[in-house]
C-alpha cells in the first residue's frame, strides 16, 4: 500500500473522530451545524475512481450516521455529492488540466477556485441532508434557513482547516 493511501486512511479516522467527538456538540443557535467531515470527501485526489469515491462517501456517511443515530441520512447525502463531484470538477478544470495525484484543495488553485468548487457541493450536501431529515418540504423556510446557516458555518470551518493544514501535492 502506498504512503498516500495510508495517509488517506489515517485522515479518514481523524475527520470522523473530530466530527463525532467534538463537532457533534457544536450547534450555533439551534440551526447552524458543522459537518467538517465533508471536507475529507471534497479533497480526495482528483483521479480517484468514481466507484471508489461513492464507496468512501458511503462508508464515511454510514459511520457518522451511527453516531448521530440517523441511519441512512448522511450516507445518502454523501453518496449524492460524491456522484456529482467528478462532473463538477470536470467543469472547473483549470488551464492545463489536472496533474495526476492532484487534490482539489485550497493549495492547488487558490481561494477563489476552491470556494467555487466547495460552496455548491456543501450546499447540496446540507440541502439533501436537512430536507431528508425534515421528511419533505413541510417546514420549507425553516429547513432552508438551517441549510444556509449550516453551510456557511461548515464552509468557514473547512477554510480554517485548509489554511491550518494545507494539503500539499503528494509527489
- Interface residues with another protein (CB under 8 A) are 20-21, 24-25, 27, 30-31, 33, 50-51, 54, 58, 61-62, 65-73, 75-76, 79-80, 83, 132-135, 139, 142
Residue 86 burial (C-beta neighbours within 10 Å; 0-12, 13-18, 19+): middle
Minimum Å gap between C-beta 38 and another protein is 16
The distance of closest approach from Cβ of residue 112 to another protein in the complex, given in angstroms and rounded to an integer, is 29
Contact between residue 61 and residue 78 where contact means Cβ atoms under 8 Å apart? yes
- 42 CB-near residues (< 8 Å, 6+ apart): 85, 104, 117, 118, 121, 122, 158
> How far apart are CB 30 and another protein at their closest, in Å?
5
Nearer residue to another protein within complex by CB, 68 or 113: 68
Nearer to another protein, 96 or 141 (CB): 141
According to DSSP, residue 33 is labeled E
Q: At what angle do helices 3-17 and 50-68 cross, to 10 degrees?
A: 30
Residue with smaller CB distance to another protein, 7 or 27: 27
Q: Which is nearer to another protein, 119 or 149 (CB)?
A: 149
C-alpha to C-alpha distance for 40 and 48, rounded to whole angstroms: 13
Min CB(67)–another protein separation in Å: 6
Amino acid at each position: 500500500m502506498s504512503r498516500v493511501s495510508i495517509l488517506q486512511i489515517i485522515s479518514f479516522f481523524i475527520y470522523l473522530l473530530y466530527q463525532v467527538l467534538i463537532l457533534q456538540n457544536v450547534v450555533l443557535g439551534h440551526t447552524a451545524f458543522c459537518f467538517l467531515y465533508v471536507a475529507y470527501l471534497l479533497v480526495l485526489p482528483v483521479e480517484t475512481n468514481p466507484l471508489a469515491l461513492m464507496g468512501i462517501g458511503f462508508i464515511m456517511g454510514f459511520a457518522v450516521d451511527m453516531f448521530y443515530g440517523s441511519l441512512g441520512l448522511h450516507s445518502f447525502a454523501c453518496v449524492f455529492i460524491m456522484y456529482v463531484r467528478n462532473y463538477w470538477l470536470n467543469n472547473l478544470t483549470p488551464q492545463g488540466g489536472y496533474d495526476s495525484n492532484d487534490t482539489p484543495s485550497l493549495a492547488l488553485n487558490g481561494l477563489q477556485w476552491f470556494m467555487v468548487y466547495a460552496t455548491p457541493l456543501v450546499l447540496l450536501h446540507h440541502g439533501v441532508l436537512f430536507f431528508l431529515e425534515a421528511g419533505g418540504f413541510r417546514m420549507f423556510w425553516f429547513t432552508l434557513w438551517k441549510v444556509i446557516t449550516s453551510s456557511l458555518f461548515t464552509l468557514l470551518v473547512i477554510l480554517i482547516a485548509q489554511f491550518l493544514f494545507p494539503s500539499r501535492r503528494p509527489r
